[in-house]
Amino acid sequence: MKEKILKELYTHQGKYVSGEELSEKFQVSRTAIWKHMNNLKKQGYTIETTHKKGYRLVETTEKLIKEALKEHLETEEIGQEILCFDSIDSTNNYCKKIAKDAVHGTVVISEEQTVGRGRLGRNWSSPKGEGIWMSIVLKPSIPPTEGMKMTQIAAASVCKAIREITDVEAYIKWPNDIVVGGKKVCGILTEMAGELHKIDYLIVGMGINVNNQEFPEEFQGIATSLTIQKGKKIDRKTLILCILKTFEELYQHYICQGTLEKTLEIIRLYSAVLGKTIRIIKGEEEIKGKVLEINDEGLLKVQLEDGRQEMLISGEISI
Ligand code: BT5
């Protein structure tokens, strides 16, 4: 019911809808409508109420609304189903729960995550309303060994979209970070379920610091946000729409052509590591190497200090 009322308010595009009209349409009492409105307000929606005219949804940049996203979506498969939450443990966790029955391309977004996750069980700070905490369910017919290419497609789309929408000079720190001025503005977490030769589904989670003004002490010095870089607020909706559109273009190119060519063009152009000397962290051990290339499979070719060359498939590096 809450969803239906919200949709009705949204389709009136900022104009008033009377309680009577709503109660007739949905066959519930006006008191029930009033209670639903109060609940929506508690969830953060700005709904103006006047005695004579009824209710009006004020669209603000403060809150992501499914209908508003869907109205401007320019994709065929990614985001045909969108679920927006006020608070959730983790959008990746939620995707896992629904993945079996979810349609390919389902997008889950939450205003906050209470247990946002990074790789290897690390924590991902996801404060309310400040970032884009979003996951996509994918069901491609590709072998599991190719699954990690989705991280590259996601990284390329987020980086390109940030540049297009905000003009912030974002770079890709292989394999799963987007950085600005050496600090992390986005992290990507790709998870996979399936058998040895077949993927059941993939979940690509993106955490983007958009309007954060500050960070917990532990992340100061390593994290930044688009607002901090740009000096003004960024509209999350516009950025999400651009990310989904770019993701779909790169994804479809990869699925149809079987190559990462388009993605790699972006990854190489905006690489934060190509040609640089990096530290490769392998458990307790740390070795230095110079990045020679990102090959056609998206692997990192590194020249180690002892003269050997190594191909990194994924993992932990620092610049
Ligand atoms: C990542 O892991 O960078 C992947 C982050 C993925 C988050 C998204 S949000 C939507 C979806 N749902 C989830 O639950 N997760 C995904 P990793 O490379 O392991 O980096 C984690 C490290 O980044 C932490 O150990 C912190 O040091 C740092 N960190 C945590 N929160 C941060 C933030 N908001 N901004 C920048 N750095 C952060």
Segments making up each domain of the chain, as ranges: 2-58, 66-269, 277-318
For a mutational test of ligand 1's pocket, the pick from 83, 109, 110, 124, i.e. the residue with the most ligand atoms closer than 8 A to its C-beta, is: 124
| Residue 246 tokens, joined | 């770019």
Pairing between β-strand 82-88 and β-strand 107-113 as defined by DSSP bridges: parallel
Nearest CA to ligand 1 atom 20: 118
Residue 60 has a pLDDT of 63
**Position 81 confidence tier, pLDDT thresholds 50, 70, 90:** very high
End-to-end CA distance of the chain: 51
Q: For domain 2-58, give the fold.
A: Arc Repressor Mutant, subunit A (1.10.10)
Q: 134 C-alpha to center of ligand 1: Å?
A: 12
Residue 11 has a pLDDT of 83
What torsion, rounded to 10 degrees, do the Cα atoms 107, 248, 295, 293 define? -80
Residue 298: CB within 6 Å of ligand 1?
no
Q: What is the architecture, at CATH level 2, of domain 66-269?
A: 2-Layer Sandwich (3.30)
Q: 186 C-alpha to center of ligand 1: Å?
A: 7
Q: 88 C-alpha to center of ligand 1: Å?
A: 16
Residue 105: CB within 6 Å of ligand 1?
no
Pick the most confident of 34-38, 158-162, 217-221. 158-162
Q: 121 C-alpha to center of ligand 1: Å?
A: 10
- CA-nearest of 314, 124, 298, 97 to 193 is 97
| Residue 194 tokens, joined | 């399936």
Mean pLDDT of the chain: 93
- Tell me the DSSP string of 233-289: ---HHHHHHHHHHHHHHHHHHHHHHS--HHHHHHHHHTBSSTT-EEEEEETTEEEEE
**Position 300 confidence tier, pLDDT thresholds 50, 70, 90:** very high
**Position 13 confidence tier, pLDDT thresholds 50, 70, 90:** confident
**Position 45 confidence tier, pLDDT thresholds 50, 70, 90:** confident
**Residue of higher predicted confidence among 73 and 6:** 73
Residue 175: CB within 6 Å of ligand 1?
no
Q: Using one digit for the tens of pLDDT, what is the confidence trace for 197-251? A: 899 999 999 999 999 999 989 998 999 999 999 998 899 999 999 999 999 999 9
**Position 256 confidence tier, pLDDT thresholds 50, 70, 90:** very high
Residue 116: CB within 6 Å of ligand 1?
yes
Report the C-alpha gap between 73 and 204 in whole angstroms: 19
Report the C-alpha gap between 214 and 303 in whole angstroms: 37
Residue 151: CB within 6 Å of ligand 1?
no
**Residue of higher predicted confidence among 305 and 209:** 209
Interface predicted TM-score (ipTM): 0.99
**Residue of higher predicted confidence among 179 and 319:** 179
Cβ atoms 32, 23 nearer than 8 A? yes
Report the C-alpha gap between 273 and 267 in whole angstroms: 10
Q: 11 C-alpha to center of ligand 1: Å?
A: 36
Average pLDDT on 10-26 reads 89
Q: Using one digit for the tens of pLDDT, what is the confidence trace for 268-298? A: 999 999 999 999 988 888 889 999 999 999 9
Is the domain spanning 277-318 CATH 2.30.30.100? The answer is yes
| Residue 234 tokens, joined | 């960024």
Residue 39 has a pLDDT of 87
Is residue 79 over pLDDT 70? yes
